[in-house]
Amino acid sequence: MKIIRDINEAKAFTKKSLVVIGNFDGLHLGHRKIITEAQKLAYPNKMGVITFEPHPRDYFLKNSKPFKLTTTEKKYALLGELGVDFVIELKFDQHLECCTPEKFVSIILAKNLEIRSVMVGQDFRFGYKRSGDFRKLKELSREHGINAFAIELDNFRKNTISSTRIRKALEHGEIREAKNMLGYWPQIYGEVIRGDQRGRELGFPTVNIELKEILIPRCGVYSCMIEVLSGRFANLYKGAASIGKKPTFGTNEINLEVHIFEFAHEIYGSKVAVSLVNFQRSEEKFGSLESLVKQMQLDCEQARLHLSSFNLSKS
C-alpha cells in the first residue's frame, strides 16, 4: 500500500480511483464493512483512503487526554492488510481548517487527485466550521464529474459498533466487548524500551512498551498474546501484562510491561504488538515485595490458564 503525504504528487496514483474519507480509528468491523463496499464500487480501479494527521480532535483539543485506539503506523498497517491501495494523509493545519467545501472538492478531490468517486458516512461533515454535509459534497462533486456515495451506517449503530463504545469498553477493562466490535483482540503496538529492571530482580523479567498517542486501557493485569515483529526473536508468545504506575514503587509514569512466558532474551528496540485478551485484576499497591511476588505468581498462573486454549501459530 502506498502512503502519500505530498498531495501534489498524488495524481499519477489516484487518477480515476475511489476514495473513502475518514479517520478509521481502530479499524473496527464497521470500518471494515465500509472498506469492503468501497472496493466493490471501485473495481477495477484503485481504492484508497483520505485521512488526517493530526486527528482533527487532537488539532482542536491540544494537550487533551490521548483517545486514539491505534497509532498512525498501526492504522496504516491494518489498512494495508485489508487491501487498500493507497492512503492520502492530509496535514490538518490552519490551512485545511479554513478550507471551504468548494475548495476541498475543486482543488483537493478534482484537481490534485482527479478521483472518479468519493465515499463518506451519512453524517459526514467537512469544510470550514463543518459547513458541508453529504448533500453539499454530492452537489459539488457532480460539478466536477465525481460520483459521491454515502454508506448506510444504521446497521452498525443498531449493533453498537463505534470507536466511542470501544474506548469506553477498554476504559472499563471489558476486553471481550471491545474485541467483538473491533473484530480482533485490542492491541497495543510499540517499541520495546529499557525499564528499571525491577521485574528481573523479582524473578519476572518484563519487556517495557511506552504508552503514547493512544488511549490507555484500564490499569491492571491482563492475560495477553505478544507478537515480536522484528529482530532475531520475531514470533508469537503468551504472557501476562501490567498497565499502570507501579504504585508499590512510588510515583511513576503509566507504562505497559509484559512478562513473556518461557522467554529470557533481550529485545530492546524491537517492534511488538501486545493483544489484550482478558482483564484479571485492578492495579494494587503492595505492602511488601514478598506479597507482590506472591501475587505476580498468581497472576501468571491465571494468565497461563486463560491462554491455554490459544494457539501460538500466527496463522
| Per-residue pLDDT, 62 | 76
| CA–CA gap between residue 111 and residue 105 (Å, rounded) | 8
- CATH code assigned at 8: 3.40.50.620
∠ CA(1), CA(138), CA(83), 5° rounding? 15
Task: With a cut of 90, say whether residue 121 has pLDDT above it.
Answer: no
Question: 196 and 84, same structural domain?
Answer: no
Question: 128 and 13, same structural domain?
Answer: yes
| CA–CA gap between residue 113 and residue 16 (Å, rounded) | 8
For the chain, the domain total comes to 2
- 13 alpha-carbon distance from chain centroid: 25
Question: 275 and 152, same structural domain?
Answer: no
Task: With a cut of 90, say whether residue 144 has pLDDT above it.
Answer: yes
Question: 272 and 187, same structural domain?
Answer: yes
- CATH code assigned at 271: 2.40.30.30
Cell readout for 90 is 492530509
Task: With a cut of 50, say whether residue 166 has pLDDT above it.
Answer: yes
Q: Can you give the residue range of the structural domain that contains 110?
A: 2-158
Which residue's entry shows cell 492520502?
88
- Mean pLDDT of all residues in 168-173: 96
What confidence tens digit (pLDDT) does each residue in 215-270 have?
999 999 999 999 999 889 999 999 999 999 887 776 678 889 999 999 989 999 99
Whether 165 maps to a domain, the answer reads no
Which one has a higher pLDDT value, 159 or 105?
A: 105
Question: 92 and 153, same structural domain?
Answer: yes
Task: With a cut of 90, say whether residue 59 has pLDDT above it.
Answer: no
Region of residue 206 (phi > 0: left; psi between -120 and 50: alpha; otherwise: beta):
beta
Q: How confident is the model at residue 174 (pLDDT cuts 50, 70, 90)?
A: very high
pTM of the model: 0.86
The percentage of residues in the chain with a pLDDT greater than 70, rounded to a whole number, is 95
| Per-residue pLDDT, 314 | 55
| CA–CA gap between residue 306 and residue 71 (Å, rounded) | 28
Secondary structure of residue 93 in the 3-state scheme: coil
| Per-residue pLDDT, 315 | 37
Tell me the pLDDT of the chain averaged across its residues: 90
Question: 266 and 188, same structural domain?
Answer: yes
- Mean pLDDT of all residues in 37-56: 94
Question: 196 and 49, same structural domain?
Answer: no
| Per-residue pLDDT, 151 | 83
Q: How confident is the model at residue 160 (pLDDT cuts 50, 70, 90)?
A: low
| Per-residue pLDDT, 196 | 75
Question: 191 and 65, same structural domain?
Answer: no
Task: With a cut of 90, say whether residue 64 has pLDDT above it.
Answer: no
- 298 alpha-carbon distance from chain centroid: 31
Domain final position from 115, 134, 158:
158
Task: With a cut of 60, say whether residue 1 has pLDDT above it.
Answer: yes
